[in-house]
């Protein structure tokens, strides 16, 4: 393919500093031990006894130590004489197929072999009620066939809306354990009732109507380490999740800028953010009824260079970029991406941006489509992904601003390096 001269020709990028952020460390010294303590205290209150069969809802979100957490939940349940069963709780992810959702868990390190409990996966649901007089409440048939259901999920800011409770146990009930039908109902009717009002009504109603007992809520710090682990019971789900959501909003790392010319993201994926790349970091969200995240950050050009291995080809979120690489396009599972977009009514997130052959040209296009801005004046940041903000690169134009921040350490400056195939070398 032929490109305009300003893309084809050599381009002199500015120097980029490596930046290390010194966020507060809030990680628990023994997160698996803390989960064990929380679970042992919660089981008697939940009425889970020897011989009971207990479903464990496990989603596709990135949680540090997820395989170890699921293994420990299964182990503690077996210690109590209960029989654990792992249930994929992820709406339409995995291409909205039972096999695909089992595969998602396996890629995340959760399987019968690793956890010592069967993984029971189907999309069958039963309607257990309604809210707002018209919104059906769906709940997993596999979960209802058991004596109890619990869930493991991270509490974190949502990527579509803002509210007292966002992405957590309530959402896992509506969308995760509601399977594909529940995910469709939630996203469709949110267009009418609003995301948080519907989440509140559906989640609290499902917590009472089904056999859900409690959720294990995990809040992570800025380094993606568990900072708080709590059991959140059905009877007080909304109040407790709102408290933990406030903590999650306090701890989430963000870039220390209000405006950028260029943001380069090394990889996106469902394991990194429900939106592929987190608008709480990028400031970008365009779909219907989505909250405005642009007060966090305004970016003129965004390039995405790759997909994470664990996303399984689901490239949801690429539509919020301006440029992608040929590697992103070829790694994308179009069917899985479109299924996610249609279910969540986030069509823009599956749009195809301008596609360029390699990292060098994608980054160069970000610079050369800004207008008459000299490269040395461009405010640019390069991230590995939007989940890990402990270290990244910043162009020389941001050096003075960063030097004034007490929690930012500016390290060596160097030119951008690319291999023979135009791939950016970050290490």
Task: For the chain, give the mean pLDDT.
Answer: 94
pLDDT at 62 > cutoff 90: no
Note whether 214 and 229 are within 8 A (CB).
no
Confidence of residue 120 (pLDDT cuts 50, 70, 90): very high
Note whether 309 and 98 are within 8 A (CB).
no
- Distance, in Å, from the CA atom of 21 to the CA atom of 375, rounded to the nearest integer, reads 25
> How big is the chain, counted in residues?
427
- 3-state SS string over 165-198? CCECHHHHHHHHCCHHHHHHHHHHHHHHHCHHHH
| Residue range 243-285, pLDDT digits in tens | 999 999 999 999 999 999 999 999 999 888 888 999 999 999 8
The architecture of the domain spanning 31-251 is 3-Layer(aba) Sandwich (3.40)
Which string of b and e fits 327-358 if b means at least 16 CB within 10 Å? bbbebbbeebbbbbbebbbbebbbeebeebbb
pLDDT at 374 > cutoff 90: yes
| Residue range 80-119, pLDDT digits in tens | 999 999 999 988 777 789 999 999 999 999 999 999 999 9
Give start-end residues of each CATH 3.40.50.11440 domain in the chain: 31-251
pLDDT at 241 > cutoff 90: yes
């Amino acid at each position: 393919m032929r490109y305009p001269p300003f893309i084809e020709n050599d381009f002199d990028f500015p120097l980029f500093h490596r930046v290390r952020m010194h966020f507060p460390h809030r990680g628990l010294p023994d997160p698996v031990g803390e989960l064990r303590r929380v679970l042992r205290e919660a089981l008697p209150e939940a009425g889970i006894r020897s011989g009971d069969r207990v479903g464990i809802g496990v989603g596709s979100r990135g949680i540090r130590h997820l395989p170890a957490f699921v293994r420990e939940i299964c182990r503690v349940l077996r210690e109590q004489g209960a029989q654990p069963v792992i249930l994929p709780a992820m709406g339409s992810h995995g291409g909205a197929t039972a096999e695909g959702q089992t595969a998602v868990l396996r890629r995340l390190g959760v399987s019968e072999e690793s956890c010592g409990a069967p993984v029971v996966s189907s999309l069958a649901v039963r309607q257990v009620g309604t809210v707002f007089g018209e919104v059906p409440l769906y709940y997993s048939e596999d979960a209802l066939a058991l004596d109890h259901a619990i869930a493991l999920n991270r509490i974190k800011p949502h990527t579509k809306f803002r509210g007292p409770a966002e992405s957590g146990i309530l959402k896992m009930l509506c969308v995760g354990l509601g399977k594909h039908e529940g995910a469709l109902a939630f996203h469709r009717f949110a267009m009418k009732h609003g995301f948080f009002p519907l989440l509140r009504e559906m989640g609290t109603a499902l917590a009472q109507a089904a056999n859900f007992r409690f959720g294990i809520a995990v809040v992570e710090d800025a380094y993606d380490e568990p900072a708080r682990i709590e059991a959140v019971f059905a009877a007080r789900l909304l109040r407790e999740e709102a408290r933990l959501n406030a903590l999650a909003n306090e701890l989430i790392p963000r870039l220390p800028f209000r405006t950028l010319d260029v943001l380069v993201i090394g990889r996106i994926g469902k394991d990194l953010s429900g939106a592929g790349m987190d608008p709480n970091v990028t400031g970008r969200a365009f779909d219907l009824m989505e909250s405005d995240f642009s007060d966090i950050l305004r970016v003129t050009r965004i390039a995405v260079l790759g997909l994470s291995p664990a996303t399984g080809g689901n490239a949801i979120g690429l539509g919020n970029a301006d440029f992608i690489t040929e590697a992103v396009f070829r790694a994308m599972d179009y069917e899985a991406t479109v299924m996610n977009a249609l279910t969540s009514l986030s069509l823009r997130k599956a749009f195809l941006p301008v596609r360029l052959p390699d990292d060098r040209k994608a980054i160069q296009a970000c610079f050369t489509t800004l207008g008459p801005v000299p490269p040395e004046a461009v405010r640019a940041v390069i991230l590995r992904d939007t989940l890990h903000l402990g270290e990244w690169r910043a162009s020389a134009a941001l050096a003075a601003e960063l030097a004034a921040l007490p929690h930012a350490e500016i390290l060596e400056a160097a030119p951008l390096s690319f291999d023979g195939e135009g791939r950016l070398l970050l290490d």
